[in-house]
Structure formats: structure tokens, C-alpha cells
């Protein structure tokens, strides 16, 4: 065990890029290590945008990599490994976001208290910004999972082809799916605003 | 997409166009059509407006996490997950970053164990020395806020568990058919309380040996991670072993001891929230021969104890004072969160005992009573307060 981890940490494989799927048969371990190294930060950041809690985001990101590892080991790995990784990671994040909904009522209470108690320390802009983030996440939890994924990826700087590979559609459909997702988002957002005093 | 735009352009294509995601071959005919088609111009404007509104909302979300774990450390965590998930998922939960409380406790145990391995003078004898046997229990109150937060995320600590700590269990836990069977497996006489309703369910947990191999560099790394580089680790112990042994334990459980998530949830238990633990209506008595710790002789155990106390939040002066008040070779020192529980010395079963209770006024409050008699360590826990604890504790037969 000791040897294994040290080996993985010290002898960083030199392969880069997302050719993991191709190299899998010749060097499974190296391919996985390269993928981990190249994508860890990005996966974490994306999931964090979705769930808003750094610890939870990290747990979920690790979960995604752990599942990917399982695929590597069972030889299930095919092309488009990177896309698969982001699909799983954003799915996990989305599920976590929705699982929180049932706790929403008291969370909102707690958030209100927090806002009141911190009123002296935080500027109005900071409070607004935090509320706005929660609204965006709430709406993301309400729209279709794939729509939420597409929006999240798009507004985290993913290209159409990257989005296409993550949600497993043809790149030429991404534009239409984006439009649909934005309509859903806007509709739910309006509903939320309408409900607020 | 059609090559020639003799019909209106779809919203999706307009969106792709606005995002510069169309190829040049696609763009030219699209623009040609757009110039002459007010409908499509209107649609493009609507699509673009909506997308900038949505984009504006997303811009409020932070771009990156404020606490990004370095890739190598995350990779080490993943390695642990791979190891752990293959054996048990419960263990993995303990390693979850969310589970900071459990982590901190594990951390304290690990540090207690590892600190036991630091001798003040270099060990010269090669034979092992019986170092520690529980005869008494002492409580040190800990303010969870004072614990090194980094314990919960220490990658070094996780690696230490994986690489340097070996746990050997002598067998699976089992339910004996009779008290006699439990006694013959445990090797000591089992005592049961008279003042509890119902029949006990017995569980025999065979012994466990934990062998910790000292890795001085790693320990320094952990102390560095928790910001306690001031605690010194002497040279010369690298590779030495500390062995913690717990013999077979027997648990007797009374009442509603099976965990039922459905029923628990109805009572307000939230599995995702560590702050609302499910408190079953279960009284349990655990008995086992006193666990032991063995290491090479030459340990300055007072110094080790003081270092441990400092890690859990005492000042060096407080630690020295506390350390002088107890005998470290015979005292099990339990860290106890100051806000969540109080403790008091009581007499039970004819000996001194430590009673831990939750602050008054809490719903479903629980007690825990710990004592040592004739070399056997007893732990009694259940719902209620001091009176219940003493009644049951004094009724052991």
C-alpha cells in the first residue's frame, strides 16, 4: 500500500490531454492519473458553483472520480472519458442540490437569521449577492437535470463540443438545448420572484 | 442545419451563432438570411437578451471554490476511498470531509496513539514493555472550536491511517446463544444489570489489535498541517511499533436498539445533519478486559500526555498541571466536548466512576457511565439522567 501511493504521487505520469480512452489498454494507471491531475480543479469548481459548499463539493468531486476509477478498473472505459466525468460530477451535484430541498424551510430561516445577525458586518451588496446565489441554485434544482447541467457547463466556460460530450448529445443540438434550458430557467426564476414579497 | 437559409433560422442555430459556435461555412448563409429577415433578427435579439440575463444570474455564482484541496492531497484521499469503499462504505463515511466531528475524534485518537510512541530518551532495550492499562478514567474538557480544524482535512493523517496503522480483528462479532457461550468466548465472567426491563441481547465482539508503526516524517507532517510544529518529535523512533490491544468485549443491549431510519426520521432525525443524532431508547452495557498499550520502554509518558492535552486545546501550563494530577500509565483520558456534555465523579459498583451526561433540558438526554472493576472496563449508556445511571450501574450481578 505504501509503495502504491508513493508511486502514484511521486512518479507523476507525463501524459496529458484527454486521450485517456485511447491509452487505457497500454497504461490504465497513467491515463487515470493524468485525467485526475488535469481535471481535479475544474470538476471541484464546477460542483462548487452548483452546491455552494466547498467541503460538499470536494466530496462529490471525489465521488465522481471514484466512479470513474471503477470504470477504468472494470475495463468499461470507452471514449469520451472527460465528458462522462463531468456528467457524473454535475449529476451528483444536482442530486445533492435537490436532496437539500426538504431542509430548505429551516435553512431559509437560518439564512434569514444569519443575514440579520451579520447585518452590521456585511454590506448590503454582500447580502444581496448571497441571496442571489441561493436563488440561482434553487432554480437550478427546479429545472430539468440536463438543462441545469447544460447551463452550468456553458456558464462555466465550456465550449459546445465539451457540453455535447458531457451530456451525450450531438454538438449541433447544443444551441437548441441551451435555448430551451434558458427558457426553463427564466420561467422558474420569474415564478420565484413572483412568490417573494 | 440547412446549408441555405431559405426558411427561418432556428433559435438553436441563432444561439450557436451568437456564441460563435458555428463554422464559417454555416455563418455566411446565416448572415445573408439574417440581413433580409426581420423575424429572425427579432428572434436573435430575444435569444441574446435571454442568454445575457441568465448569464448575469450565473455570474453571481463564485467561479472557484475557496478551499481547493491540492491535487496530490485529493489524490491521496481518493486512494483512501478506493481502499475503504472496497471493504466497507461506513468507514468511508468517516473519512468524509463533511464528517468533521468524527474526524476530529479519530484525529485525537491517532495523535494520542502516536504521541505514546515518542520517548523522551532513545529506547535502548529491545523488549516490549507493558505501558498502559486502564484502571481509571479521567475526562479532559475540550472546546471543539479549539481543536485544530485541519485535523478534519489532514491528508497526512489519512495516509497515516492507511499506511502506518494495521488493524487486526480476531473475528467477526456474533450473537451468542447463551451467556455461557459469551463467557467462554470472552474469557471472563459476564455481569448483567438487574434494574433494566426486558431480556438482554448479547453481542460478542472479538478482540482487536492495532499496530501503529511510527513514521517520524509523517507525524511531523501532521503537526505541521495542524499548525503545531512546536510539539517536538524526537529522533530515533522511526519504524518502531506501538501496539494497542483490546480483548474480546461483550455488549448487552436492552430495549429498542435496532436502528430504524424510518422511525428515526419521524422523530426528527436527519441523517444528513450531524447535529441531530438519533437517540435510541436503548440501554447498553459493554464490558471488556482493560485495553492495553505496549511500546518500547524509555517513554517519558508525562511529556507525551502533556503534548496530547495541548493538541486538544490546553495551554502548556494547564497541560502540565493536569498531567501531574493523574497517572498516565493507568488512566484513560477521554476528551469531552465542553458544550455538549458534563461529567461528574460518582460511586458505582463499589468503585469510583465517571458519569457523563448531557446538559439539562435537552430532549431525549442520555447518560454514559464508565468504571473499572477487577480489571474489567464497564461502559453503561442509555436514556435518562444520573438517577437512572446509578440505579442500573449499582444493579450489576
Cα–Cα distance between B239 and B126 in angstroms, integer?
13
Q: Chain A contact for B85, CB < 8 A? A: yes
State how far residue A120 is from chain B, nearest Cα, in angstroms: 22
Comparing alpha-carbon positions, the chain A residue that sits nearest to B73 is A9
Q: Chain A contact for B53, CB < 8 A? A: yes
What are A59-107's pLDDT values in tens digits? 899 989 988 887 777 766 666 788 889 999 999 898 888 877 545 544 5
Of B65, B75, B83, the CB nearest to A45: B65
Q: What is the pLDDT of residue B147?
A: 58
* Window 1-60 of A, Cβ < 8 Å to B: 1-2, 4-5, 8-9, 33, 36-37, 40-41, 44-45, 48-49, 52, 54-59
Sorting pLDDT into bands at 50, 70 and 90, what band is A154? very high
What are A22-68's pLDDT values in tens digits? 444 456 777 888 889 899 999 999 999 999 888 889 989 998 998 88
* Window 157-186 of B, Cβ < 8 Å to A: 159, 162-163
Q: What is the pLDDT of residue B174?
A: 79
Q: What is the pLDDT of residue B48?
A: 95
Low-confidence residues in chain B, pLDDT < 70: 1-6, 83-163, 165-167, 169, 226, 231-237, 256-281, 293, 295-305, 307-308, 311-313, 328-329, 334-341, 358-365
Q: Residue B202 corresponds to which cell in the numbers above?
A: 448479547
Q: Residue B16 corresponds to which cell in the numbers above?
A: 450557436
State how far residue A119 is from chain B, nearest Cα, in angstroms: 20
Task: Please answer yes or no on whether B66 and A54 come within 8 Å at the CB atom.
Answer: yes
Q: Chain A contact for B48, CB < 8 A? A: no
Q: What is the pLDDT of residue B149?
A: 56
Helix (H, G, I), strand (E, B) or coil at B35: helix
Of B15, B19, B57, the CB nearest to A189: B57
Q: What is the pLDDT of residue B97?
A: 38
Q: What is the pLDDT of residue B299?
A: 52
Which pTM was predicted? 0.45
Cα–Cα distance between A36 and A15 in angstroms, integer?
11
Question: For chain A, what is the radius of gyration of the CA atoms?
Answer: 19
Q: Chain A contact for B19, CB < 8 A? A: yes
Comparing alpha-carbon positions, the chain B residue that sits nearest to A99 is B272
Q: What is the pLDDT of residue B56?
A: 93
Q: Chain B contact for A187, CB < 8 A? A: no
At a CB cut-off of 8 Å and minimum separation 6, what does A195 contact?
Answer: none
- What is the signed CA dihedral for A134, A139, A145, A151, rounded to 10 degrees? -80
Q: What is the pLDDT of residue B193?
A: 92
Which residue, among B159, B307, B302, B293, has the nearest Cα to B233 in the 3D structure?
B307
Q: What is the pLDDT of residue B115?
A: 37
Amino acid at each position: 500500500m505504501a509503495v502504491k501511493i508513493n508511486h502514484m504521487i511521486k512518479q507523476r505520469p507525463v501524459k496529458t490531454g484527454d486521450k485517456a480512452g485511447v491509452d487505457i489498454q497500454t497504461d490504465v494507471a497513467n491515463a487515470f492519473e493524468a485525467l485526475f491531475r488535469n481535471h481535479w480543479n475544474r470538476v471541484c469548481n464546477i460542483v462548487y458553483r452548483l452546491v455552494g459548499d466547498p467541503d460538499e463539493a470536494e466530496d462529490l468531486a471525489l465521488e465522481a472520480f471514484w466512479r470513474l476509477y471503477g470504470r477504468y478498473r472494470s475495463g468499461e472505459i470507452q471514449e469520451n472519458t472527460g465528458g462522462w466525468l463531468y456528467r457524473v460530477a454535475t449529476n451528483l451535484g444536482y442530486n445533492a442540490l435537490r436532496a437539500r430541498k426538504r431542509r430548505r424551510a429551516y435553512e431559509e430561516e437560518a439564512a434569514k437569521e444569519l443575514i440579520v445577525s451579520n447585518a452590521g458586518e456585511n454590506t448590503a451588496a454582500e447580502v444581496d449577492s448571497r441571496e442571489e446565489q441561493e436563488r440561482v441554485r434553487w432554480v437550478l434544482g427546479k429545472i430539468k437535470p440536463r438543462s441545469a447541467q447544460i447551463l452550468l457547463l456553458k456558464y462555466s466556460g465550456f465550449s459546445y463540443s465539451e457540453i455535447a460530450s458531457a451530456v451525450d448529445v450531438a454538438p449541433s443540438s447544443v444551441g437548441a438545448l441551451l435555448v430551451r434550458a434558458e427558457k426553463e430557467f427564466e420561467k422558474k426564476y420569474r415564478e420565484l420572484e413572483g412568490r417573494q414579497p | 442545419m440547412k446549408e441555405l437559409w431559405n426558411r427561418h433560422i432556428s433559435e438553436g442555430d441563432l444561439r450557436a451563432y451568437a456564441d460563435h459556435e458555428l463554422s464559417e461555412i454555416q455563418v455566411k448563409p446565416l448572415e445573408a438570411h439574417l440581413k433580409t429577415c426581420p423575424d429572425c433578427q427579432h428572434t436573435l435579439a430575444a435569444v441574446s437578451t435571454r442568454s445575457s440575463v441568465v448569464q448575469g444570474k450565473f455570474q453571481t455564482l463564485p467561479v472557484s471554490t475557496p478551499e481547493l484541496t491540492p491535487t496530490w492531497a485529493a489524490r491521496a484521499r481518493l486512494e483512501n476511498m478506493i481502499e475503504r469503499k472496497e471493504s466497507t462504505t461506513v468507514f468511508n463515511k468517516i473519512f468524509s470531509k463533511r464528517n468533521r466531528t468524527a474526524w476530529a475524534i479519530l484525529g485525537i485518537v491517532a495523535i494520542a496513539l502516536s504521541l505514546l510512541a515518542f520517548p523522551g530518551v532513545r529506547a535502548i532495550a529491545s523488549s516490549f514493555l507493558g505501558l498502559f492499562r486502564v484502571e481509571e478514567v479521567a475526562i479532559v474538557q475540550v472546546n471543539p472550536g479549539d481543536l485544530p480544524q485541519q485535523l478534519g482535512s489532514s491528508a497526512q493523517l489519512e495516509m497515516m491511517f492507511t499506511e502506518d496503522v494495521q488493524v487486526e480483528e480476531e473475528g467477526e462479532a456474533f450473537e451468542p446463544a447463551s451467556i455461557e457461550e459469551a463467557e467462554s468466548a470472552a474469557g471472563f465472567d459476564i455481569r448483567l444489570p438487574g434494574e433494566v426491563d426486558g431480556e438482554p441481547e448479547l453481542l460478542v465482539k472479538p478482540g482487536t489489535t492495532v499496530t501503529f508503526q511510527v513514521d517520524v516524517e509523517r507525524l511531523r507532517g501532521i503537526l505541521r498541517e495542524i499548525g503545531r510544529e512546536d510539539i517536538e518529535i524526537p529522533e530515533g523512533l522511526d519504524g518502531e511499533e506501538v501496539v494497542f490491544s483490546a480483548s474480546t468485549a461483550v455488549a448487552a443491549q436492552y430495549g429498542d436498539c435496532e436502528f430504524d431510519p424510518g422511525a428515526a426520521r419521524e422523530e426528527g432525525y436527519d441523517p444528513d445533519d450531524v447535529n441531530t443524532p438519533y437517540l435510541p431508547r436503548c440501554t447498553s452495557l459493554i464490558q471488556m478486559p482493560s485495553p492495553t498499550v505496549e511500546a518500547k520502554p524509555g517513554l517519558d509518558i508525562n511529556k507525551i500526555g502533556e503534548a496530547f492535552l495541548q493538541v486538544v486545546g490546553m495551554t502548556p501550563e494547564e497541560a502540565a498541571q493536569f498531567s501531574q494530577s493523574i497517572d498516565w500509565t493507568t488512566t484513560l483520558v477521554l476528551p469531552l466536548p465542553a458544550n455538549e456534555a458534563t461529567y461528574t465523579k460518582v460511586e458505582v459498583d463499589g468503585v469510583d466512576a465517571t458519569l457523563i451526561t448531557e446538559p439539562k433540558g435537552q430532549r431525549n438526554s442520555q447518560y454514559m457511565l464508565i468504571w473499572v472493576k477487577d480489571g474489567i472496563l464497564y461502559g453503561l449508556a442509555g436514556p435518562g439522567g444520573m438517577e437512572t445511571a446509578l440505579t442500573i450501574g449499582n444493579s450489576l450481578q
